[in-house]
Amino acid sequence: MNLAKALKKAPVQIVLMDRNNFHTFQPLLYQVATAGLEPDSIAGPLRKAFNGQANLIFRMVKVIGVDLENKKVNTKVGELGYDYLVIANGSVTNYFGKENFREKVLPLKRLVHSLDVRSHLLQLFEQAELVDDPVIYERMMNIVIVGGGPTGVEMAGSIAELKSHVLPNDYPHLDFSKMKIHLVEGTGRLLNGMSDAADKNAQNYLRMMGVELKLNTLVKDYKDRNVILDTENIPTESVIWAAGVKGRILSGVPDETVERSRIQVDEFNQVMGYPGAYAIGDVALMSNEDYPNGHPMLAPVAMQQGKKLAANIIKMMSGKQPEKFRYLDKGSMATIGRNRAVVDMPGGLHFKGLFAWLIWMFIHIMYLIGFRNRLITLNNWIWSYFTYDKGTRVIIRKFDFSSKFRSGERSEE
């Protein structure tokens, strides 16, 4: 989106292809999943974003493959040639080889996933009201979150807040002292990529909120409704998979350009060995002296690469030399609950608590401006803050609970 917008006045014809007609503000997926926000609040219609941009055509199509030799893109409705191709199709959930998990766990990468999680959790408690067997009840009340990155940490905090402020009012006959939220992380710390202070404070916050932290712990399997860890088994109906992502590699991307599930690009984002083809964002692996293992898979990297590539395309079209990409790290943050957040600023500055939480809130509301749903989001947050209530505990997407896990609409990656 940043690339296409930056080319608004360039003498080019842009064809933007997406299988969805909207863009998702992924950092807030966890809020939809825990009934804090409506799904529409974090989804921005693409056509609206490009209203009035005469050099852009949007096509809601699924791209089947690319042919970098012959400079063609293949879609469900036909083929299209290109002068410049920009692959910006992001990442998918990484199951780290455990492909059998795909049908069993709940990922949290797309808007439909967040609706699946919301429906799953709410239906779980509806079902729990009908259960007599204490073994089944315990299993229903165990929620396991895999992955201690921002998504896992924010989900754990958000579910802990549901548990303390919302669920006991909605389900007065359920015993929520039996509800356990487990956060499982393979390494010895949370929020990898953030500072040690962020890790330490996030751990403290989560423990205060009753989340059971299991660091240095690997998930070996999930079978017979048991999460098999190397240390113990946890019976559960709910495994939320926030363990990581990997690049989404389109069919036709040459094998020799793919490294660790990302497309290798040079410092101008050009796909190695294929002039005219570029990749940006999560799917692109760009290494330099600062980032010898590639840049982090974060939205700011993608946005900055998009803007830089647009500028470079304009330069190249008028015969000028393109410039190398340099990532400007503006800091990172995660929120664990009301008044509880951690913020790393450039230069080693770290904030926590209410002040960090206010920074988080301000930045996210500013970023949502383009989504026009800013006011609605703000309403929801103000309401939640003062009432300790959440908004939208509505089960719209149903799936058969017993037949585990999802509806026929099971969302593909």
* Cα–Cα nearest to 311, from 286, 278, 282, 287: 278
Binding status of residue 138 toward its own copies by CB under 8 A: no
CB of 285 to its own copies, least distance (A): 31
SS3 82: coil
Binding status of residue 379 toward its own copies by CB under 8 A: yes
Is residue 160 within 8 Å of residue 209, measured between CB atoms?
A: yes
* CA dist., res. 399 & res. 36, Å (int): 21
* CA dist., res. 233 & res. 329, Å (int): 40
Binding status of residue 59 toward its own copies by CB under 8 A: yes
Binding status of residue 386 toward its own copies by CB under 8 A: no
Site string for its own copies, 164-193 (x = CB under 8 A): -----xxxxx--------------------
Binding status of residue 38 toward its own copies by CB under 8 A: yes
SS3 163: helix
Is residue 128 within 8 Å of residue 141, measured between CB atoms?
A: yes
Binding status of residue 369 toward its own copies by CB under 8 A: no
| Mode of pairing for the β-strands spanning 258-259 and 262-265 | antiparallel
Query: Residue from 126, 175, 323, 400 that binds its own copies (CB under 8 A)?
Result: 126
Query: Residue from 9, 13, 47, 231 that binds its own copies (CB under 8 A)?
Result: 47
Q: Which residues are catalytic?
A: 154
Residues binding its own copies: number (CB under 8 A): 51
- The number of beta carbons lying within 10 Å of the beta carbon of residue 363 is 15
The span of 139-147, 204-212, 251-259, 389-397 binding its own copies (CB under 8 A) equals 389-397
* Residues forming beta bridges with residue 342, ordered by sequence position: 334, 352
Binding status of residue 43 toward its own copies by CB under 8 A: yes
Query: Residue from 9, 13, 21, 175 that binds its own copies (CB under 8 A)?
Result: 21
Token pair, residue 78, equals 């036909």
The span of 40-48, 82-90, 100-108, 211-219 binding its own copies (CB under 8 A) equals 40-48
* Residues forming beta bridges with residue 352, ordered by sequence position: 342
Query: Residue from 129, 175, 230, 232 that binds its own copies (CB under 8 A)?
Result: 129
Query: Residue from 180, 393, 405, 413 that binds its own copies (CB under 8 A)?
Result: 393
* Residue 165, CA distances (Å) to 28, 29, 45, 130 in order: 20, 20, 33, 22
Start-to-end C-alpha separation, the chain? 20
Binding status of residue 128 toward its own copies by CB under 8 A: no
Q: Is the peptide bond before 386 cis (omega within 30 degrees of 0)?
A: no
Binding status of residue 400 toward its own copies by CB under 8 A: no
| Mode of pairing for the β-strands spanning 106-107 and 212-214 | unpaired
* Residue 314, CA distances (Å) to 10, 72, 235 in order: 7, 21, 57
Kindly tell me which of 51 and 293 has the beta carbon lying closer to its own copies: 51
Query: Residue from 97, 130, 132, 292 that binds its own copies (CB under 8 A)?
Result: 130
Binding status of residue 13 toward its own copies by CB under 8 A: no
Scanning 212-337, the segments in alpha helix (DSSP H) are 299-317
* Residues forming beta bridges with residue 44, ordered by sequence position: 23
Kindly tell me which of 133 and 255 has the beta carbon lying closer to its own copies: 133
The helix (H) or strand (E) run that includes residue 239 is strand 238-241
Binders of its own copies among residues 68 to 87 (CB under 8 A) are: 77
Torsion of CA 269, 147, 37, 138, to 10 degrees: 160
Is residue 342 within 8 Å of residue 148, measured between CB atoms?
A: no
* CA dist., res. 243 & res. 219, Å (int): 10
Binding status of residue 407 toward its own copies by CB under 8 A: yes
Binding status of residue 408 toward its own copies by CB under 8 A: yes
Query: Residue from 7, 112, 271, 336 that binds its own copies (CB under 8 A)?
Result: 112
Query: Residue from 111, 143, 198, 253 that binds its own copies (CB under 8 A)?
Result: 111
Token pair, residue 9, equals 């006045």
Query: Residue from 80, 397, 405, 413 that binds its own copies (CB under 8 A)?
Result: 397
The span of 16-24, 242-250, 277-285, 301-309 binding its own copies (CB under 8 A) equals 16-24
* CA dist., res. 413 & res. 250, Å (int): 12
The span of 53-61, 209-217, 309-317, 344-352 binding its own copies (CB under 8 A) equals 53-61
Binding status of residue 376 toward its own copies by CB under 8 A: yes
Kindly tell me which of 42 and 313 has the beta carbon lying closer to its own copies: 42
Binding site for its own copies (CB under 8 A): 20-22, 38-41, 43, 45, 47-48, 51-52, 54, 57, 59-61, 77, 111-112, 115, 122-123, 126, 129-130, 169-173, 372-373, 375-376, 379-380, 383, 389, 391-398, 407-409
